[in-house]
Structure 1
């Protein structure tokens, strides 16, 4: 799959995410006005944040797809992490607002009755169906392209299904048994889910912006590839960092110093291709050292 194809798929997922979020915001605004349900308010706030996040994600996907230039020699993929960090702060703020409103309603001496529960239930069912369809497409795109923004957006929409299902239960309980307080309990649960998701998204984005190393399983895989590659007598100084959907890999390999430069280059190029075959979104830089060479006292310590 070419980079252009990856970009088109990622952009299609981003545009669909924005479209779905906008439709759900409008539908839930109407449902909130009709029912006065806090659990619907929770899902509305979540959908509103989804819209902001989807817009930010779409912008990040478009910007991250730009090729490296003179000012950004390693590309623009860190834009994905900046967008994710901002999204996590929005989610956390919304969760706090919903939780406070739910607690105040639970402690109130005057219970708030819900209205038009049937209409609200129709909107929530519609929301669930549309969200499931979106998640299925996002997961397919993420599987094909490896884009972290699309994958994270998909996980977030999966999390949206929980408060949506909770709102459906709350509206049904209110219509059937008059248990309006369940609405506030569901809203509290939805706020907790949102806060947990914000913490997870924010931590991942922060780690990437702080140049945290790649997943240990990937590092072990690269070590195995390098250690078993023909002509490579040893390796050291394996360093990785993650930026958006890209993983940057630096590796020093030890080769027979008596061979020609062409032979050494062929071994290094073949190793680079092998690593990229295993990890297609990796950006690999390989430095070649003759085996047995003694490091200069001024050289950094090997790892």
Structure 2
């Protein structure tokens, strides 16, 4: 199993495990406290579990090797899942924002009970979530997987509602206040919306075969320009699918050299690109360079 797939799979399994633990923990906390903030956090964790299961399925599907119907592989499943997660996160941000406004304008807040036990449960939830987010970010940094990155953003957004629930329980216990988490919930909704738009834009661009980042294209062009034996290049095309980069390039070579020599030059350029961008799918075409004495 390739290292990148193993890391992505570990992040997916960790996400499902933590989400299941959080659901059980928050069910208990809700029964103890009757806190609306805990109920909202429970609903969010339940949806987290569903999204984590979907993300894990996408990671497993995307890792399948190419077949007759999918000759370029299945990595676009990651972008499709990331786009779905982005839409879900954006909808969640809207729900959180509306709920926060309703709580702020409500005449009578819901009375809270057993705040101490609720604070302990939510503190444990924060520790579990933080551990998961740190691992997911490490995996995403190494593999570039958009599903893992989107899942990490979602769980990072969960930290603020959990902290808000703790503050609400503490304020209720100490001062009889039950609306403190509403302001934090509004800030969380804004953060989630901005992050979801970024994740969704990246996934949409990949699904629409948008070219790679300009910096990536420039680096590939420099590799081609500096490769010994390459007299020129044209028709450089790039796209991304999931965490995978696809490169299609025509290089111009001396047409008088042997096929073996031409192949060696192309192979050297391919290895140079792979060294710079590991895991890239590369297709290099050979074209004879126009000689100075060639008319037209």
Which of 158, 173, 176 aligns to 2:171? It is 173
TM-superposed CA distance for 1:266, in Å, is 0.7
Instruction: Provide closer, same or farther for how the CA distance between residues 143 and 95 of structure 1 changes in structure 2, counting only shifts above 3 A.
Output: closer
Change beyond 3 A, Cα 1:93–1:140: closer
Alignment of 1:239-278 (within 5 A): 239-278=237-276
- Give distance in 1, aligned partners of 2:109 and 2:139: 46
Task: Check 1:107–1:147 CA distance in 2 against 1; reply closer, same or farther (3 A cut).
Answer: closer
Partners of 2:140 and 2:199 in 1: how far apart? Answer: 16
Quote the offset at 1:293 in angstroms: 7.2
CA drift of 1:144 comes to 4.1
Aligned to 1:99: 97
Shift of 1:269: 1.0
Instruction: Judge which range, 181-190 or 242-251, deviates more.
Output: 181-190
2:80 equivalent in structure 1? 82
> Offset of 1:180 from its aligned partner?
1.2
CA distance in 2, matches of 1:138, 1:12: 9
Out of 229-238 and 168-177, give the one that drifted further. 168-177
Q: Any conservation in 1 of the 2:161–2:181 contact (CA below 8 Å)?
A: no
Q: Does 1:193 align with 2:191?
A: yes
CA distance in 1, matches of 2:15, 2:232: 47
State the alpha-carbon separation in 1 of the partners of residues 50 and 182 from structure 2: 25
Partner of 1:289: 287
Q: Distance in 1 between matches of 2:64 and 2:112?
A: 49
Instruction: Compute the TM-score of the two structures, normalised by the length of structure 2.
Output: 0.90
State the Cα distance separating 1:111 from its structure 2 match.
Answer: 2.8
CA displacement at 1:153 relative to structure 2: 2.3
Question: Which secondary structure does the structure 2 equivalent of 1:112 belong to?
Answer: coil
CA distance in 2, matches of 1:97, 1:33: 23
Change (3 A) 1:37 1:99: farther
Report deviation, 1:70. 0.5
* 1:231 aligns to 2:216 (yes or no): no
> Secondary structure of 1:225's partner?
helix
Q: How far has the Cα of 1:121 moved from its partner?
A: 1.1
Partner of 2:181: 183
1:111 to 109, 119, 126: 109
Distance 1:197 1:46, change over 3 A: farther
Deviation digits for residues 139-191 of structure 1, max 9, x if unmatched? 34334444332233233323322322232222222222222121322333333
Tell me how far apart the structure 2 counterparts of residues 194 and 149 of structure 1 sit (CA, whole Å).
16
Distance change (3 Å), C-alpha of 1:141 and 1:111 = closer
Displacement, 1:243? Answer: 0.5
Residue in 2 aligned with 1:55?
Answer: 53
Aligned pair count?
Answer: 292
Determine the structure 2 residue equivalent to 1:206.
204
Contact 1:63 1:76 in 2 (8 A): yes
Give, in whole Å, the separation in 2 of the partners of 1:180 and 1:60: 40
CA drift of 1:251 comes to 1.0
- Write out aligned runs for 1:116-127 (5 A): 116-127=114-125
Give 3-state SS (helix, strand or coil) of 1:110's partner.
coil
Change (3 A) 1:229 1:132: same
Counterpart of 2:21?
23
- Structure 1 partner of 2:161: 163
SS of the counterpart of 1:113? Answer: coil
Query: How far off its partner does 1:112 sit?
Result: 2.6
Gaps of 5+ in 2: none
- Structure 1 unmatched ranges of 5 or more: 295-303
